[in-house]
Amino acid sequence: MPRPTPGRRPLGRQGLMVSSMGLGCMGMSFGYGKVDERQAVATIDRALELGVTFLDTSDHYGPRTNEELLGRALAGRRDEVQLATKFGSYSPDAPPRVPDGRPEHVRRAIDASLWRLGVDHVDLYYQHRVDPQVPIEDTVGAMAELVTAGKVRYLGLSEASARTIRRANAVHPISAVQSEYSLWSRDVEAEVLPVLAELGIGFVPYSPLGRGFLTGAIASPEDLAPQDFRRVAPRFAQENFARNAALVERVKLVAASRGITAAQVALAWVAASVPGAVAIPGTTKPERVAENVAALEIELTEDDLRGLDEAFPPGAAQGERYPPPMMALLNG
C-alpha cells in the first residue's frame, strides 16, 4: 500500500502554496540537547522524500546554527522546498531576551539569514516575537520592503495578538501567523483564530505534539537530557508532571482504540480543529516524519473529538507554556 504524502495547500490569500504538513527544524540545533548533524540531515531528506517541503527555522535557533544546518542540507535543492525563517527574537546588538523589531534590524537580519541559508530569498519571513517598543507598522513596513526587493516572498508573524495582526495586515498582507497550538495549548482559539479566518491569513501551529508530551513517550522529567529546555518549562516540572500525564492518558486511549499512535491522535485533532492549518511538528528522527505524515490520513470520529475536547478544555494543562522570562515575550 503506498505511503500517504502531504498534498499542497495555500497559506493566506497571496499565493503561497506549501505542503499540508511542515517540518519544524529547531530541535535539530537548539532546545532539546545535542543532535548529530548526520541524523538531522537524514530527517530533512526523509521529509522531502515524503513530500514534506515546508521547512521552518529561525535565526534564534542556535542562535544562527539551525539556518546554517539547513543551508548545508538543502544545497542544490532550493527549488524543492518552501523555506520559512524568522527574525527579531535574537539580535546581536540588543540585550538577551529582548525582541528587536527596529527597521534597521529587519534589513540586517534578512541579509544574514540569506547568507547562512545559502539562498537569495525565503518564501516566508516571520517576525519571531513582537517588539513592544517598536510600532508594528514600522516593523512590517520594513518587512514589506524586503518583498519589493525580492528577498522575501510572503510575510508572517509569530505569537502575535489579534490586535497586532490587524494592525500589521493593514500595512502589508500577512500570509501566515505561527503560534503554539495543541490539545494542551489552545489560547489562540478565543481571539486569534477568528481574526485569521476573517482576514484570510493562514495558521501554522507549532509544537502540535506539546513538545513531545502528548506522545506519551516522556514518563518522567528525568527522561529529559540535562541541557533540554523542557527541564525548565513549567508543564514538565515535577509538581505539574503527574497532572499533565493524566491528561495524556485520554490521548493514549483514543490511540489504542484506533490502532494508531498518540502522536497521530494529537496531530489529527489539530487538523480537525483548524481545517486548513499547516502544522510543523518537529523531530530529529526520520521514522517520526513518516509517522507524522501518516496522521494526515486519519479522521477522528465525533466521539473521539468530543472526548478529547472534554479532557482538554482550554486551560486544562497545569503550568505555563514557558518560564516567566519567555512568557513575558508573548504579545498579549
Q: For residues 236 and 255, what is the distance between their CA atoms, to the nearest angstrom? A: 22
DSSP-derived letter for residue 15 is T
- Contact residues for 14 (Cβ-Cβ < 8 A; gap 6+): 154, 173, 175
- The C-alpha cell of 137 is what? 507598522
Query: Taking the CB of residue 228, how many other CB atoms lie within 10 A of it?
Result: 18
Query: Taking the CB of residue 303, how many other CB atoms lie within 10 A of it?
Result: 10
Closest CA to 22 of 2, 36, 33, 8: 8
Q: For residues 148 and 276, what is the distance between their CA atoms, to the nearest angstrom? A: 28
3-state secondary structure of 99: coil
Closest CA to 24 of 236, 213, 210: 210
User: Catalytic: which of 61, 90, 126, 181?
Assistant: 61
61 is known as an active-site residue:
yes
- Contact residues for 277 (Cβ-Cβ < 8 A; gap 6+): 181, 202, 203, 204, 205, 270, 271
* Cα dihedral 224, 228, 232, 236 sign: negative
- Helix (H) or strand (E) holding 244, with range, is helix 238-258
- The C-alpha cell of 188 is what? 489562540
Catalytic residues: 61
